[in-house]
Amino acid sequence: MSKIISGFSKLSKEEKIDWLAENYFNSQPEIIQTIKQYWNVDEKLQQLHDDFIENTISNFYMPYGIAPNFLINGREYVVPMVVEESSVVAAASKVAKYWSTRGGFKTEVISTTKIGQVHFIYAGAKADLEDYFQKNITELHAATASITKNMEKRGGGILDIQLVDKTEKLADYYQLHVTFETKDSMGANFINSCLEAIAKKFQNDEIEIIMSILSNYVPECLVRAEVSCPIEKLGGENPEKFAYKFEQAVKIAEIEPYRAVTHNKGIMNGIDAVVLATGNDFRAIESGAHAYAARNGEYTSLTHCEVKDGIFKFWIEIPLALGTVGGLTALHPMAKLSLDMMQKPSARTLMQIIAAAGLAQNFAALRALTTKGIQHGHMKMHLMNILNQHHATPTEKDEVIAYFENRTVSHSAVVEKLNSLRKPTVNWVDYSNEEEVRNKLQLLTNDSKPSFGNMNAQQMIEHLSEITKIPNGNWKIDVFVDEEKAARRKPFLKTDNEIQIGFKASFLSENPVPLQFSSIHEAIEDLIKQIRLFKEVFEKNPSRIVTHPFFGDLDYNLWKKFQVKHFTHHFKQFGLA
């Protein structure tokens, strides 16, 4: 049956989720639960998020962290970062503090102009096109007057329109290359609206407009961030050697594209995290930055380093087309909070903050690479992630971290170490393992003596069968369990504690009951039968609740926990566990 659907966007959110669960998850209830548990409890806030994009069914959370101690142009900042990769925020914070005692970051905006283009095809004489363009350039500006009016009040607008000949690369292909200043707005909608108005005015019978669109390549929307200090103030055991290795690492990234890509990815770890936190377009920033890195025909580093006359200098120049008004920055509460956190920066100031974050991230990576190695910090975070994933206690964390101080961290090695710390003090019996249960019980004879209690071996086996009949529905016991008492008793089933020797349930006879079977072998087979039935009745009805005479109402999971404790108790009674 086809899963192609028409009118999906018109379905309610609940209907979209039901369709998805039915067609791609076999209507698993846990899938629907997972989707819904990420909804915001505030319905108005959730509706706001739903309206950001199309076909919304839930939210996808990303960690939101902050990196304090950034000193930029003499002003202190705390920088918000949204990122899923461990070590990024920690590295930015550590480097920010490091440079705060060495003069901080010095930043400047070099230029802020952005580009948009009208792409068109023209097969006539180039001179005629140039004449047509010159005669109509004033009209092209006038065509956008209603759009640029408010932007011009803020000091922005269209700066220039040029006719560009691209016919050498593509037959009959020309473009109108338009330069914009959009001030504190990223300006995508503004630029595209202007371009469409220009295109409409410019087209004629001989000019075929192909498309009108802004460019995310913004080499003239450029910002620079720098740190510097005397070499001896770099600190460490040998600052001269560190400075030398650091400079060489940057130079390698300048000439080796394979290294440069990873080098720049580290820069973007810091940049993208702040771009996301402020509701800006990280995809546009990414594409523009990487295009800029390849502007001279070969992909190279976005950062540069110079060690000269006893001074260490490290800097970045990067295009960043950002906005602090309009778009998601004006709608997303966390984006607005991020901007407030950074003291409500202008777009120019935000460019400088983000450039500093990228430079800090790159410094952290290169320092790690040229000293302890990049994995040292990553593995610390990786180790903590594994420990958290396996719900390690604070004591376990301390022991495992100390153990791996000088050892290689891997998932399997950490789990193995955790398991060694968690070796159970009790050798719990797996009652569901028929072969194990049968093999152990077959060791018993009529002469087997218990270490406690009055039952003989066969009576013990038949007792396990009888108690298993309760959840199976084969033994109805008319016992009332007070809810308050049951609430106090049930938590015991979730602990690692054993049933105490000498414990006697009130519903049981004081003395062992008469035997039902003629041999231990028959008793064992009946117990195996009851164990199988126990599993079957709950598989048929997973929501089945059966009252335990001592613990009260139990579901399948709690009955299984009881069975483990009960079997272990009686197996230990005869030295089988």
Helices (H) and strands (E) in the chain, counts: 21, 12
Q: Is position 54 annotated as part of the catalytic site?
A: no
By C-alpha distance, which of 352, 289, 276 is closest to 108?
Answer: 352
Marked catalytic residue, from 42, 51, 85, 430: 85
| Polymer length in residues for the chain | 577
Query: CA-CA distance, 109 to 221, in Å (whole number)?
Result: 8
Q: Tokens 């594994």 — which residue?
A: 386
The Cβ-side half-sphere exposure at 277, using a 13 Å CA radius, reads 29
3-state secondary structure of 177: strand
252-255-260 Cα angle (round to 5):
70
3-state secondary structure of 154: coil
Marked catalytic residue, from 378, 390, 397, 521: 378
Q: Is position 85 annotated as part of the catalytic site?
A: yes
Query: CA-CA distance, 350 to 335, in Å (whole number)?
Result: 13
Query: CA-CA distance, 511 to 35, in Å (whole number)?
Result: 55
3-state secondary structure of 390: coil
Q: Kindly state the tokens that stand for 50.
A: 């739903």
By C-alpha distance, which of 265, 233, 231, 270 is closest to 247?
Answer: 231
Region of 482 on the Ramachandran plot (φ > 0 left; ψ -120 to 50 alpha; else beta): beta
Q: Tokens 């001074």 — which residue?
A: 311
Task: Provide the 10 A C-beta neighbour count for residue 367.
Answer: 22
Marked catalytic residue, from 94, 106, 265, 397: 265
Beta bridge partners of 70: 77
By C-alpha distance, which of 92, 13, 89, 96 is closest to 56?
Answer: 13
Residue pair 272/282 in contact by the 8 Å Cβ criterion: yes
Q: Tokens 């193995």 — which residue?
A: 416
**Torsion sign, CA atoms 177, 181, 184, 190:** negative
Marked catalytic residue, from 226, 272, 281, 462: 281
Q: Environment class of residue 12 by beta-carbon count within 10 Å: exposed (0-12), middle (13-18) or buried (19+)?
A: exposed
Query: CA-CA distance, 525 to 522, in Å (whole number)?
Result: 5
Q: Which residues contact 297 (CB under 8 A, 6 or more apart)?
A: none
Per-residue b or e along 314-336, where b marks 16 or more CB atoms closer than 10 Å to that residue's CB: bbbbbbbbbbbbbbbbeebebbb
Query: CA-CA distance, 508 to 279, in Å (whole number)?
Result: 67
Query: CA-CA distance, 231 to 241, in Å (whole number)?
Result: 10
Per-residue b or e along 222-248, where b marks 16 or more CB atoms closer than 10 Å to that residue's CB: bbbbbbbbebeebeeeebeebbeebbe
Query: CA-CA distance, 571 to 577, in Å (whole number)?
Result: 5
Q: Is position 226 annotated as part of the catalytic site?
A: no
Query: CA-CA distance, 93 to 232, in Å (whole number)?
Result: 22
Q: Is position 281 annotated as part of the catalytic site?
A: yes
Residues forming the active site: 85, 265, 281, 378
